[in-house]
Amino acid sequence: MQSFSIKKWVPWFLPLVLVFWFFGKKPSEPSVEQVHSTTRLAMGTLVTVSTWGVKGPSEEKAVDRVFTRISQIESLASRQDKSSPVYKINHAPTKKTWPVPEELATIVQKGLEIKKISHGAFDPGLVFLLDLWGFANGVPDVGKIPESQAISSWLENRKNHLEEGIRVEKSPDGTYTLQLDDVSFALDLGAIAKGYALDKAMETMKQAGVANALIIGGGDMVIAGSKGGKPWRIGIQHPRDHDKIMAFSEIVGDMSMATSGDYERFFMVDGERQHHILDPETGRPSRSGLISVSIQAKEGMLADALSTAVFVMGMEKGKAFIEKWEGIEGMLVAENGERWKSVGFKGQWLDGP
């Protein structure tokens, strides 16, 4: 008999999911039986959908609708799925103007806005660079540092296309088009599409009549309502001690949180960690000093993209950025042990203030 091996389907890095949740049941708390959780593989990671206080077929139906919605977005934004518009655009022999579905236009547009406000720390056009480093398919598939020459020619080319390399336009008839200027620019929405998908997943959940839910995918999550008036409790993984959490949050109401870390996908060369968050200024894995960044925002898409952006910015610029933008809160951890959280961040370090 053929046995099903989860390893075959789940990339090796998945046990290192950044954020997990726990019930932490205390005697006065509602029964955990009222929380129902379903985990499935989606968007290249494990996605867990938890609901509170709904049971049976209505809950199952809502959860199915949520996963269907997630896979709709995945099939638009994935750069591995050969039938996705992103794949087709990225693999076109010449760059030109493409008609794109509105949802994809929305994600790219937001990515370009965040590129602007983050002064290029976030960039949805890093495909070529990510492939060079071997982070094309989530897991590192090269395991060695690329030739400096290849990195410098990408950097040189980028200078010439910094403002306008990728453009999204709305036509008078309401349709959207996307333009890429050059073959070395192509779309990687890996730091933003998951957040958007989780936003839409929660929207679907609410439309299905479920008001209290928590949806977690990799390092991103969206929350709605509560567990019968009690908060959802979330743990944030320790960036260097994966069996431990370093902080926790208790959250009631609508909120999103995303965590970016250098320990998700990486390979080591001469004791140096080569990880999947690239600094577009250097063309190399970000060496900002930060090793974990959690961002809270109303929108999952924003939290997702900004956790990556702030990671690249580093402690000082990252702090200033978070303090400047209303509705954005953050928790930052540096390699040297320095750590900081914004006043409005909902969460506490496990070992003190």
List residues binding Mg ion (CB under 5 A): 191, 260, 304, 307-308
The C-alpha atoms of residue 238 and residue 335 are separated, in whole angstroms, by: 12
Q: Which is nearer to ligand AMP, 85 or 124 (CB)?
A: 124
Judged by CB under 6 A, the residue of 103, 188, 262, 299 near ligand AMP is 188
The C-alpha atoms of residue 332 and residue 339 are separated, in whole angstroms, by: 6
The three-class DSSP label of residue 261 is: strand
Judged by CB under 6 A, the residue of 85, 140, 280, 300 near ligand AMP is 280
- What does 103 interact with, of ligand AMP, Mg ion, none (CB < 5 to 8 A by kind)? none
Contact (CB, 8 A) for 265 and 140: yes
Residue list 293-312, contact with ligand AMP (CB under 6 A): 304, 307-308, 312
Task: Give me the least distance between CB of 325 and ligand AMP, in Å please.
Answer: 17
The contact pattern for ligand AMP, residues 219-258, with x = CB under 6 A and - = no contact, is: x---------------------------------------
**Which tokens hold the place of 54?**
């709904």
The C-alpha atoms of residue 343 and residue 10 are separated, in whole angstroms, by: 37
CB count within 10 Å of CB 185 equals 23
How many residues touch ligand AMP under the rule CB under 6 A: the total is: 20
The residue whose Cβ lies closest to ligand AMP is 190
Residue list 196-225, contact with ligand AMP (CB under 6 A): 219
**Residue 321 binds to ligand AMP (criterion: CB under 6 A):** no
**Residue 122 binds to ligand AMP (criterion: CB under 6 A):** yes
Task: Give me the least distance between CB of 101 and ligand AMP, in Å please.
Answer: 21
Task: Give me the least distance between CB of 341 and ligand AMP, in Å please.
Answer: 18
**Residue 84 binds to ligand AMP (criterion: CB under 6 A):** no
Q: Which is nearer to ligand AMP, 227 or 276 (CB)?
A: 276
Judged by CB under 6 A, the residue of 123, 131, 199, 329 near ligand AMP is 123
Q: Which is nearer to ligand AMP, 304 or 329 (CB)?
A: 304
Task: Give me the least distance between CB of 120 and ligand AMP, in Å please.
Answer: 8
Nearest to 124 by CA among 68, 35, 189: 189
Task: Give me the least distance between CB of 260 and Mg ion, in Å please.
Answer: 5
The C-alpha atoms of residue 306 and residue 293 are separated, in whole angstroms, by: 9
DSSP state of 15: G
The C-alpha atoms of residue 268 and residue 22 are separated, in whole angstroms, by: 31
Judged by CB under 6 A, the residue of 276, 284, 341, 346 near ligand AMP is 276
The C-alpha atoms of residue 259 and residue 244 are separated, in whole angstroms, by: 15
Q: What single-letter amino acid sits at 73? A: I
Instruction: Give the residues across from 100 on adjacent strands.
Output: 176
Residues 6+ apart with CB under 8 A from 32: 23, 25
- What does 216 interact with, of Mg ion, ligand AMP, none (CB < 5 to 8 A by kind)? none
Q: Which is nearer to ligand AMP, 135 or 232 (CB)?
A: 135
Q: Which is nearer to ligand AMP, 178 or 208 (CB)?
A: 178
CB count within 10 Å of CB 283 equals 22
Contact (CB, 8 A) for 186 and 178: no
The number of helix segments (H) and strand segments (E) in the chain equals 9, 19
Residue whose tokens read 């993984």: 237
Contact (CB, 8 A) for 350 and 233: no
Q: Which is nearer to ligand AMP, 41 or 130 (CB)?
A: 130
Tabulate helix, strand, coil % of the chain (nearest 5): 30, 30, 40
Q: Which is nearer to ligand AMP, 114 or 214 (CB)?
A: 114
Interacting residues toward ligand AMP by CB under 6 A = 122-124, 126, 130, 135, 188, 190-191, 219, 260, 264, 276-278, 280, 304, 307-308, 312
